[in-house]
Structure 1
């Protein structure tokens, strides 16, 4: 058998290629993950802005104000039915109309409760609600309001027994992330 003779320049190219392969793979991973990291950053709620009671704060193209958080009923298992009312004055309709809206109640330990559907009998206990439909946060954003319009937003929550006095409303919008608003309850 005859041995194949490989020139030194071919050997050098093979070594360079073998060393360049891990670097090219690492660069590809960095470039691919950069887009994912940016999406993660834009979808997270990382920086809270504390909003004092009875004041408005800007987020996502609107000035938001907490109008009230009240207990409207109690279910048979002891859970509290809460109704959250907010007001939004639209400043930038394009930024405001970006979905989804995250409006939750947050406990001091970080637990969160998302809005839930409330039965008409639970909501209609309030005289000012009888026969009126007030949009949820997502419905208000989807309505594509014009600048200067004031919208009332309402969400219903069901909380475990004893949690109704400990929670605070938290609002997050895509145009405002990674910042979000945490409202103080008037005392």
Structure 2
């Protein structure tokens, strides 16, 4: 008789453990998927400029430990050997250095042009223009040895389709601020 009672209790106990195991799977499977996806989402957000911070014309804004200001955006005409319907565009920035650790703060510095349709252009070396000694690119400024309080003049050259020149806006992204980036408005906006 006691053997029958033990067998009956063990069957009930075994069913309870099965139910508990199934319920734990309902919780653990989504949790493990979330943990696995976390690194992918973190990499996606950390490597891309996704969320714009709009900057009004003439305004200076703190970004990547420094104060960024768009000083000029203009076409550079009169150049030869360019593709048809392409226009070289110069974007000039004045950056007052706050945190001089640019190699960490500005890592992955990317200046780009974005049009109203979301198309993006990166700097080009096809349309190389001679610049004065005190003008640098974003990448060269990282290794320039600037100190806190210095002002750096940056210039990037782009080659964009002529039809896009009416709606392009300069943008800046750095690794320490991603997924956010600066999107500068023009004087006419």
Q: Offset at 1:144? A: 5.0
Q: Aligned pair 1:90/2:93, yes or no? A: no
Q: 2 CA distance for matches of 1:76 and 1:23?
A: 58
SS of 2:163's equivalent in the other structure is: coil
Q: 2 CA distance for matches of 1:183 and 1:106?
A: 10
Q: For residue 67 of structure 1, what is the aligned residue in structure 2?
A: 71
Structure 1 stretches of 5 or more lacking a match?
A: none
| Deviating 4+ runs (over 4 angstroms) | none
Q: 2 CA distance for matches of 1:90 and 1:20?
A: 53
Q: Is contact 1:99–1:142 with CA below 8 Å preserved after alignment?
A: no
Q: 2 CA distance for matches of 1:69 and 1:29?
A: 46
TM-score (norm 2): 0.77
Aligned residues: 176
Q: Offset at 1:136? A: 1.6
Structure 2 stretches of 5 or more lacking a match?
A: 1-6
Distance 1:142 1:25, change over 3 A: farther
Q: Is contact 2:135–2:152 with CA below 8 Å preserved after alignment?
A: no
Q: For residue 150 of structure 2, what is the aligned residue in structure 1?
A: 149
Q: Offset at 1:42? A: 3.9
Distance 1:106 1:119, change over 3 A: closer
Superposed counterparts of 1:37-116, under 5 Å: 37-73=41-77, 75-94=82-101, 97-116=105-124
TM-score (norm 1): 0.78
Q: 2 CA distance for matches of 1:52 and 1:12?
A: 64
Q: Is contact 2:105–2:174 with CA below 8 Å preserved after alignment?
A: no
Q: 2 CA distance for matches of 1:179 and 1:185?
A: 19
Q: For residue 4 of structure 2, what is the aligned residue in structure 1?
A: none
Q: For residue 170 of structure 1, what is the aligned residue in structure 2?
A: 171
SS of 2:124's equivalent in the other structure is: coil
